[in-house]
């Protein structure tokens, strides 16, 4: 279903289903004696959502050995690179003394429950009300408890006044904050992406950090979304990225954050794979370019 201005979703539909897809990949990468990740909550959360296509992934029935995107090894390595990048970002921020973290569009992110957060850390998760309610209930049924000292959910659409809701939940804009926006930017209209970073900047004290994907659209094949649609269909997914992404020209996160006074660093896909001891598949680099990931530190405000 194509996006509309005021659309909403649960974890089985639209943008929410992509969060379940990512959790299914994390579950696969957490399986077996040679697991690349340790996310004990990913698989039970996917099973709780109950979408057949994602259950097949978790059960090992959806892999396509001759497909560079859909074989088990490739899928596991890709999600391991992505997950470790954002895990390491939070852990490095904590090592630097930051004790406030925000996960935007949290979906089925489980970092509040599985990372080794220092004492005194508060983690906020922001997402649509249905998504927050489902994950909270599912994790409670598993007996899972947050590893963060304080864990607060903020049930609000990012198209609404989420900064006010975040403050109302106890967020302290005077404290340095670590922010992540994982797998979020393509689902935002270009102007909304800029507003998101503007609002993050307004809420960020000096020393705050942010991490997201570095989407260098100029390096991506023109038909990359269509190719991903074909892969999704082949895997039995119930969504098309071409209907969920907002296309068209947009500022890069790197350029916009730099213009707002952040010190920005990027890591290419090739570099990110190499940092984990993997080789980035040529087919993937050819399709989406060597965009990779981005981190930024807020300079004196």
Instruction: Report whether pLDDT(288) > 90.
Output: no
- The lowest-confidence range among 87-91, 130-134, 182-186, 235-239 is 235-239
Instruction: Report whether pLDDT(120) > 80.
Output: yes
38: nearest Cα among 26, 55, 21: 26
- The string of pLDDT tens digits covering residues 20-30 is 999 999 999 99
**pLDDT for residue 238:** 67
Residues across the chain:
301
**pLDDT for residue 251:** 87
Residues 61-90, mean pLDDT to the nearest whole number = 89
Percent of the chain at pLDDT exceeding 90: 67
Which residue ranges form the domains of the chain, and what is each CATH number? 80-298 (3.40.50.150)
Per-residue pLDDT band for 217 (boundaries 50, 70, 90) equals low
- The lowest-confidence range among 98-112, 233-247, 263-277 is 233-247
- Residue 50 exposed, middle or buried by CB count within 10 Å (0-12, 13-18, 19+): exposed
The mean pLDDT of the chain is 89
Instruction: Report whether pLDDT(235) > 80.
Output: no
Instruction: Report whether pLDDT(1) > 60.
Output: no
Count the Cβ atoms, other than its own, within 10 Å of residue 196. Answer: 23
Separation of CA 33 from chain center: 26
**pLDDT for residue 145:** 97
Question: Which two structure tokens, joined as six digits, stand for 33?
Answer: 């004696």
Count the Cβ atoms, other than its own, within 10 Å of residue 279. Answer: 10
Per-residue pLDDT band for 250 (boundaries 50, 70, 90) equals confident
Residue 225: φ, ψ to 5°: -70, -40
**Secondary element (H or E) of residue 109:** none
**pLDDT for residue 104:** 98
Count the Cβ atoms, other than its own, within 10 Å of residue 270. Answer: 16
Residue in the structure block whose two tokens are 């649609």? 229
| DSSP summary character for residue 32 | S
Residues 248-256, mean pLDDT to the nearest whole number = 87
Residue 209: φ, ψ to 5°: -135, 155
Say how far apart CA 69 and CA 228 lie, in whole Å. Answer: 9
179: nearest Cα among 77, 93, 69: 93
Say how far apart CA 201 and CA 208 lie, in whole Å. Answer: 9
pTM of the model: 0.92
**Cβ-proximal residues to 191 (8 Å cutoff; 6+ apart), any chain:** none
103 contacts 171 by C-beta, under 8 angstroms: no
Residues 93-119, mean pLDDT to the nearest whole number = 98
The CA distances from residue 114 to 40, 84, 135, in Å, are 8, 13, 14
- The string of pLDDT tens digits covering residues 163-192 is 999 999 999 999 999 999 999 998 888 889
159 contacts 219 by C-beta, under 8 angstroms: no
**pLDDT for residue 8:** 61
Please write down the HEC assignment for all residues of 208-261.
CEEEEECCCHHHCCCCHHHHHHHHHHHCCCCCCHHHHCCCCCCCCHHHHHHHCC
Instruction: Report whether pLDDT(127) > 60.
Output: yes
């Amino acid at each position: 279903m194509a996006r509309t201005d005021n659309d909403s979703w649960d974890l089985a539909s639209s943008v929410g289903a992509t969060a379940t897809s990512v959790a299914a990949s994390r579950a696969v990468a957490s399986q077996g004696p040679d697991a690349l990740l340790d996310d004990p909550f990913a698989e039970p959360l996917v099973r709780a959502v109950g979408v057949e296509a994602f259950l097949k992934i978790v059960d090992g029935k959806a892999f396509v050995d001759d497909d560079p995107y859909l074989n088990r090894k490739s899928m596991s390595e890709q999600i391991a690179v992505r997950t470790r990048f954002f895990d390491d970002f939070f852990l490095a921020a904590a090592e630097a003394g930051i004790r406030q973290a925000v996960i935007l569009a949290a979906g089925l992110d489980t970092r509040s429950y599985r990372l080794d957060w220092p004492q005194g850390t508060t983690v906020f998760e922001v997402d649509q009300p249905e998504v927050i309610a489902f994950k909270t209930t599912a994790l409670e049924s598993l007996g899972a408890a947050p590893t963060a000292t304080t864990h607060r959910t903020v049930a609000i659409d990012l198209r609404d006044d989420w900064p006010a809701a975040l403050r109302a939940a106890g967020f302290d804009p005077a404290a340095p904050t670590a922010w992540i926006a994982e797998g979020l930017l393509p689902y935002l209209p270009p102007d909304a992406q800029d507003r998101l970073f503007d609002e993050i900047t307004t809420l960020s004290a000096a020393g705050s950090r942010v991490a997201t994907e570095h989407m260098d659209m100029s390096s991506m094949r023109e038909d990359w979304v269509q190719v991903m649609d074909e892969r999704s269909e082949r895997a039995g997914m119930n969504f098309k990225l071409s209907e969920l992404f907002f296309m068209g020209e947009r500022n890069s996160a790197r350029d916009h954050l730099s213009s707002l006074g952040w010190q920005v660093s990027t890591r290419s896909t090739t570099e990110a794979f190499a940092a984990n001891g993997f080789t980035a598949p040529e087919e993937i680099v050819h399709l989406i370019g060597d965009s990779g990931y981005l981190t930024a530190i807020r300079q004196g405000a």
